[in-house]
Structure formats: C-alpha cells, structure tokens
Amino acid sequence: MTLETGIVCGECDRLNPRDSTKCVECGHDLAFALAGQKPRAEKNGAAAMPVRAGAESNRTPPKAAQQGAEGKPMEQARHYICKSCYSPVPSGHKFCGKCGTPSDPKAAGAEPNYFGDMQTPGKAKLILIKGEGMDGISYHLNSTEHLAGRSEGAILFPEDKWLSPKHANFFYANGSLMVRDENSANGVFVCLREPAGMAPGTVFMAGEQVFRVEESPAIDDTPDEEGTFFFASPRRDSDFRVVQVLEGGGGGMVVHAKEAEVTIGREGCDMNFPNDPYISGHHVKVNLVHGVLTLADLGSKNGTYIRITGDQPLSHGDYVFLGRQLLRVEITL
C-alpha cells in the first residue's frame, strides 16, 4: 500500500505536494510558519517529516504557530489549535491544514462560556432596585434563613437610618420563600398584585406617602356640663378614615370616607399629592365592600405597598420595601 503524504490546504482542504508553497486549487499560502522560514532539516539532509495524524506532542507550542507573518495573533487562532502541531484551524474545517490531524468537532465551533455566582435551582435572589447607590446588586438566598437589617444578618444596609438593626428575615417554608418582619420599627412592605382585604390599623404606601386606615371615631355631639355645644364644621357620617403618617409618627392629612371610598393620587382624588414624583394621577383606592376594608391599586406606575403582618409568602417578581431599600424577588425553576 502506498502512503501519500502532503500538505492539506487550510482553506479548501485540498491535499497538495509536500514541497508546495501555495495550494494548487485555491492559491492559499501553505507556509509552515513565519514568512521566509524554511522547514528544519535532519542531520542526514532530509526534510523534517510532518507529524503523523493523531500523534500527541508534549513540546511547548511554538510562537510561530500562533502568530502570522508579521508576528501578530492570527484571526484563525480564535477558533481551534491543532493538538499535534499547534497550528490554528479555522472554524468549520475538519482537518489541520498543516499536519492533517482531524480537528475536535466539539471544540472547533464552540462558543465561550461565562461563569459567575450560580443561582441554585428552586432558590431565590433579591435584586436591589433602588437603595444605597448599589442598584443592581444581587443577594442569593441559598441558605435556610437570611436576616436583613442595618447591622445584623447577611443582607446589610448600614447607611439606611429607617432600618432596624435586625429588620426582616427571608426564609424557606415548605418549599416556598417567605418574609417575616422581625419586630422592626418601620415594617416590611410588599407590593400588591391584586386587591387585598385589610383590618383597621393597616399601614400602606403609595409613592413617597405612608397611610394608615382607621375606623372613624364616634361623633360626640353632647353639650358640656353647662349645656353648651362645641362649635365646629359639620361632619358627615363615615365608616372609616385614611390618615397620612408623617416622619416621626405624627398624623398629617386626614380624610373620612365619602360613600365608603377614599381615592389617593396626584390630582382629582380625595387625597392629592401634586408634588410627589412617584405617585400616579389616580394611584390607589380604599373602599368598604360588604363590611370588608379593601385596598386596590388603580394601575399606578410604581405600585402600592402594604405593610405585612406575620409570615408573608413571596413569588417570582414580587417587590419588597425595607426602609428605603426596594428589592425585587427572582426565583429560578
């Protein structure tokens, strides 16, 4: 059997005679290495034989095999380097154009993989949407419990003066992510997804405003001990009232429900806040339906947040406010 040897063209895969400098089919340059460099000769005067296909070599790759004629990195080297002679093999070529060794089909067209902190399937992470100038930072919830606060726990916001030292706990129960208020001073708020029932005393947030829902106190229209009535504006009957809560805990604007409903927004509502940039025109509504107080967002841009009581389940896409930190929940499947 006659073994035919030669040089395989790196462009068209044509087998050329060993002494060829250009491909007889497409004219591609078949130089071994740097321009002007001649193949190394053995002591007996014979030219060095090409490395046999499939043979492995332990020698260090020559720089010439990774560089072009001007000493610059070859564009082809991005794709695949032959394991036998360390020559670059263009993407899509089945054989090395220098020694004929078959190329690895998996590595030849492989795209680079990027790595980072992996999120465990079934676990959640919190992404900081608005906070201490670190917007976009992620907190992976891969443990059982994850305390958050100003100075205690794994999720810390030391500059937020509205956070308690130990403010909230994100934990898993029966395969679901939960959040619990750890008796914090200002509470934990979760964005409404749908209208929610609430009891008197419930606190909620719209834009930068915080509100509390209260039962309307009974009207005392009896005279004093001398038989004199207190003189004031007329007061209509009302089932409940909404109180604006100011910084420090004091009360601000108070509106009694008219026809069992109070609307809040920037303009045209029962409670208007034209200077709040985060509140929508018609933002949220509190109403009494069949004896039950209900809080409903009116399609606002930034959502309505209700202060939680007890353990609150969280789902993918939920938004949570802790102090001045707005976090989004993301859960992998």
Split at pLDDT 50, 70, 90, the class of 143 is very high
Q: Supply the CATH classification number for the domain 124-216+239-331.
A: 2.60.200.20
What is the model's pLDDT at position 164?
A: 97
What is the model's pLDDT at position 103?
A: 76
> How many Å is the Cα radius of gyration of the chain?
37
Lowest-confidence range among 90-104, 107-121, 195-209?
107-121
Average pLDDT over the chain, rounded to an integer: 82
What is the model's pLDDT at position 150?
A: 96
Distances in whole angstroms, Cα of residue 261 to Cα of each of 12, 255, 264, 269, 294: 79, 10, 10, 11, 10
> Any idea where the domains of the chain sit in the sequence?
1-35+46-114, 124-216+239-331
Whether 37 has a pLDDT exceeding 60, the answer reads no
Please indicate whether residue 262 or residue 20 has the higher confidence score (pLDDT): 262
Please indicate whether residue 77 or residue 102 has the higher confidence score (pLDDT): 102
- Alpha-carbon distance 4 to 14, whole Å? 13
What is the model's pLDDT at position 213?
A: 97
What is the model's pLDDT at position 69?
A: 42
Q: What is the mean pLDDT of residues 215-239?
A: 84
